[in-house]
């Protein structure tokens, strides 16, 4: 089974081979192949005019991508860490997200911005943030976060082919394999993965469609990225027949899949690594409350990161691990 790094690299290679408009660039993303090596070999394969390095300027990277996309290219820009995207946030919100509407459809911005997100690599406060809620609040953007290599490839291909800007978030803890949730080590390799082996060639995973990662009847767990695997570990340890919904796309969100599951189980736990207040889990909770109120048998519960700056040296206390999720599952079931 390929790693997520290999799946992302494969998706980029497939699309650059199929469509000469697709270009890949970012800080150290050309010759070196990126700090996580997701773009390794692309410059040698496609040349420095299609896979290239940029100055250390996130505003410049995103601004260049918007210009390229507006004039017909399909740029895939890499922000080295999601923590670095703030200088480019104005370009993302004010230009990329609004290009279609502000020009009455005369111009569009079909670009993808790739960003590694989350902790787990001892990166400290400036290499470990999970800012997905800052993008899901912006109309005109789509926000994607895969939990496994098969989806990473299919979702990235779909994002590149999409006619509008897509924020593609890549959980760093999953780059080389899923974690067991308790320790800072991956389970190597992706053996026994429910998604199967990585398909060759071109395929796409539609944006806006969640995946039932683990069927269950007693409780619904809504998760994405790394927390899908943490939720699976918690479900196995708790003995609760939990149905785990891997959202895959945060915006647009698959409200039909969420609603169908919670109307079946009557209970809901939401899990994400980002801080709790104003996190994406709050939007999920509101969606569930509005659509499933008459079916709920217990309060909606969120298990998240703490409302504190990222704690250097204490990240494995900060993370919502299986122990916290097991406690939440049991509390909701006993309500």
Cβ contact 172:116 at 8 Å? yes
Q: For residues 335 and 314, what is the distance between their CA atoms, to the nearest angstrom? A: 31
Q: Are residues 170 and 215 in the same domain?
A: no
Reading the block at residue 10, the tokens are: 């494969």
Q: Are residues 149 and 21 in the same domain?
A: yes
Q: Are residues 136 and 228 in the same domain?
A: no
Phi, psi of 75 (to 5 degrees): -75, 140
Q: For residues 221 and 272, what is the distance between their CA atoms, to the nearest angstrom? A: 11
CATH code for the domain of 73: 3.40.50.970
Nearest to 216, CA basis, from 265, 152, 278, 144: 265
Token match 């918690």: residue?
234
Cβ contact 257:210 at 8 Å? yes
Q: Are residues 142 and 10 in the same domain?
A: yes
Domain-terminating residue out of 151, 174, 197? 174
Model-wide pTM > 0.75: yes
Structurally, how many domains does the chain consist of?
A: 2
Q: Flag whether 44 is in a domain.
A: yes
Q: Are residues 155 and 56 in the same domain?
A: yes
Q: Are residues 166 and 215 in the same domain?
A: no
What is the per-residue pLDDT for 310? 79
- Facing residues of 275 across strands? 305
Read off the DSSP letter of residue 200.
P
What is the per-residue pLDDT for 272? 97
Cβ contact 69:108 at 8 Å? yes
Q: Are residues 244 and 159 in the same domain?
A: no
Cβ contact 36:78 at 8 Å? no
Q: For residues 274 and 82, what is the distance between their CA atoms, to the nearest angstrom? A: 12
The residues that are catalytic are 127
Q: Flag whether 63 is in a domain.
A: yes
Q: Flag whether 198 is in a domain.
A: no
Q: Are residues 46 and 104 in the same domain?
A: yes
Q: Flag whether 182 is in a domain.
A: no
Q: Flag whether 55 is in a domain.
A: yes
Q: Flag whether 191 is in a domain.
A: no
What is the per-residue pLDDT for 286? 98
Q: How far is CA 30 from the centre of its chain?
A: 23
Q: Mean pLDDT of residues grouped by 10 in the chain (335 residues)?
A: 92 98 97 96 98 97 98 97 96 97 96 94 81 97 96 98 98 80 47 67 97 97 95 94 98 98 98 96 98 97 92 80 94 97
Q: For residues 37 and 50, what is the distance between their CA atoms, to the nearest angstrom? A: 16
Indicate if the alpha-carbon torsion angle 270, 38, 138, 275 is positive or negative: positive
Q: Are residues 229 and 291 in the same domain?
A: yes
State the first-to-last Cα distance of the chain, in angstroms, to the nearest integer. 41
Q: Are strands 219-223 and 242-246 parallel, antiparallel or unpaired?
A: parallel
Q: Flag whether 87 is in a domain.
A: yes
Q: Residues, the chain, total?
A: 335
Q: Flag whether 190 is in a domain.
A: no
Cβ contact 328:222 at 8 Å? no
Domain containing 314: what range?
211-333
Q: Are residues 105 and 36 in the same domain?
A: yes
What is the per-residue pLDDT for 186? 45
CATH code for the domain of 262: 3.40.50.920
Buried b (16+ CB within 10 A) or exposed e, 77-99: bbbbbbbbbeebbebbbebbbbb
What is the per-residue pLDDT for 161? 98
Q: For residues 242 and 266, what is the distance between their CA atoms, to the nearest angstrom? A: 11
What is the per-residue pLDDT for 42? 98
């Amino acid at each position: 089974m390929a790693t997520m790094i290999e799946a992302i690299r494969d998706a980029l290679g497939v699309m650059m081979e199929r469509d000469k408009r697709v270009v890949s660039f970012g800080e150290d993303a050309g010759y070196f192949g990126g700090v996580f090596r997701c773009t390794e070999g692309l410059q040698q394969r496609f040349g420095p005019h299609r896979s290239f390095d940029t100055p250390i300027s996130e505003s410049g990277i995103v601004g260049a991508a918007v210009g390229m996309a507006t004039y017909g290219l399909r740029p895939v820009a890499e922000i080295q860490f999601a923590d670095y995207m703030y200088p480019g946030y104005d370009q993302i919100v004010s230009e990329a997200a609004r290009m279609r509407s502000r020009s009455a459809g005369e111009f569009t911005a079909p670009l993808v911005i790739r960003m590694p997100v989350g902790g787990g690599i001892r990166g400290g406060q400036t290499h470990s943030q999970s800012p997905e809620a800052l993008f899901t609040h912006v109309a005109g953007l789509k926000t994607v976060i895969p939990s496994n290599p098969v989806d990473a490839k299919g979702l990235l291909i779909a994002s590149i082919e999409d006619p509008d800007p897509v924020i593609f978030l890549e959980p760093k803890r999953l780059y080389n394999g899923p974690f067991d949730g308790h320790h800072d080590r991956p389970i190597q390799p992706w053996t026994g993965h429910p998604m199967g082996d990585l398909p060759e060639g071109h395929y796409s995973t539609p944006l806006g469609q969640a995946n039932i990662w683990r069927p269950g009847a007693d409780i619904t767990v809504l998760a994405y990225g790394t927390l899908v695997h943490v939720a699976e570990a918690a479900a196995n340890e708790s003995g609760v027949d939990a149905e785990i919904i891997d959202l895959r796309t945060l915006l647009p969100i698959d409200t039909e899949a969420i609603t169908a599951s919670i109307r079946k189980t009557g209970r809901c736990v939401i899990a994400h690594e980002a801080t709790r207040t104003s996190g994406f889990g709050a939007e999920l909770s509101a969606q569930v409350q509005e659509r499933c109120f008459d079916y709920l048998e217990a309060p909606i519960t969120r298990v998240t990161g703490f409302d504190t700056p990222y704690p250097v040296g204490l990240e494995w206390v900060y993370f919502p691990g299986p122990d916290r999720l097991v406690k939440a599952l049991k509390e909701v079931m006993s309500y």
